[in-house]
Amino acid sequence: MRIKECVHLGVECLQEVTPIPQKETMLLLCDMLGKEMSWLVAHDADEIIPNEWFYTALKRRANHEPLEYILGRASFYDREFSVDARVLIPRPETEILVDKAVLLAKTLPEKAHIVEIGSGSGIVSIMLALMLPDVKITAVDISSDALHVSQSNAMKHGVHERISFVQGSYLDAIHESIDMIVSNPPYIAHDEPLGKGLSFEPSLALFGGIKGDEMLCHIIDLFMQHRVKALVCEMGYDQKEPLYTYCVAKGLEPTFYQDLAGLDRGFYIQ
């Protein structure tokens, strides 16, 4: 089969599932052939024999499984991270969480201790380690499966010695003082209908309780109890009002930020 015929086949299989069926098919072909996209475009008349992996990948994608899980990688901040069904797929809006954390870190003492609650694939802690060479970072996750993924990602980006990986619930396993908490916790309400793709992601990483903001509220409580200097969290687009009310009742003044789509997406407190 010629490469362009494989692309055509993929477009037919995936056009109901994704707005970019051609690009996704080409990415699968690149992985199957071990070639770059530019090679594929220049050789679209070449004859190839698609293997079992390619056909299975198309079937998985046609069944709405996210492309990132099929390829085993996702990009975040222009870097490549390994992902699989043990961890949440990085979202572009989480780059803003990292940006805010970096800005807040500048106001902290040197060698500040930053704790990430719910580190998943490790993207946030790893980017912080890369961007803030002097801080000490602890990445906490309740899932040992997720910690395996984040540790191998930290190794891949050369920062495994800068981050302590800890299995635990919230701050239960942290006994040192903390200067900043960073978190993109699960914040979806338990009964919110999910798109088909989301059902492939770990529910532990998605659902934050009955209303969805329960984990965020608990993190705010911990921020106060542990006398932490700064807190930055991602949240759901509709959680600004309840979280504002929650903070104000505790005498805190959160600053909210929006994502690139203009939706409320997170907050920080100093």
Phi, psi of 142 (to 5 degrees): -80, -20
Instruction: Identify the residue among 66, 186, 212, 266 touching ligand GLN (CB under 6 A).
Output: 186
Instruction: Identify the residue among 18, 25, 82, 119 touching ligand GLN (CB under 6 A).
Output: 119
**Cβ closer to ligand GLN: 18 or 184?**
184
Closest distance between ligand GLN and the C-beta of residue 63, in Å? Answer: 23
Establish if 266 lies at the interface with ligand GLN (CB under 6 A): no
Cβ atoms 76, 123 nearer than 8 A: yes
**Cβ closer to ligand GLN: 43 or 79?**
79
The token duo for 229 is: 């200097």
* End-to-end CA, the chain: 60
Instruction: Identify the residue among 7, 71, 115, 123 touching ligand GLN (CB under 6 A).
Output: 123
Question: Which residue number is nearest to ligand GLN in terms of Cβ?
Answer: 120
Instruction: Identify the residue among 101, 108, 124, 147 touching ligand GLN (CB under 6 A).
Output: 124
Establish if 233 lies at the interface with ligand GLN (CB under 6 A): no
**Cβ closer to ligand GLN: 36 or 80?**
80
**Cβ closer to ligand GLN: 55 or 237?**
237
Establish if 236 lies at the interface with ligand GLN (CB under 6 A): no
Cβ atoms 137, 114 nearer than 8 A: yes
Q: How many CB atoms lie within 10 A of CB 158?
A: 11
Establish if 153 lies at the interface with ligand GLN (CB under 6 A): no
Residue 88 carries which DSSP code? P
Antiparallel, parallel or unpaired: β 180-183 and 188-189: unpaired
Please name which of 79, 88, 70, 86 lies closest in space to residue 27, comparing C-alpha atoms. 70
Q: How many CB atoms lie within 10 A of CB 148?
A: 15
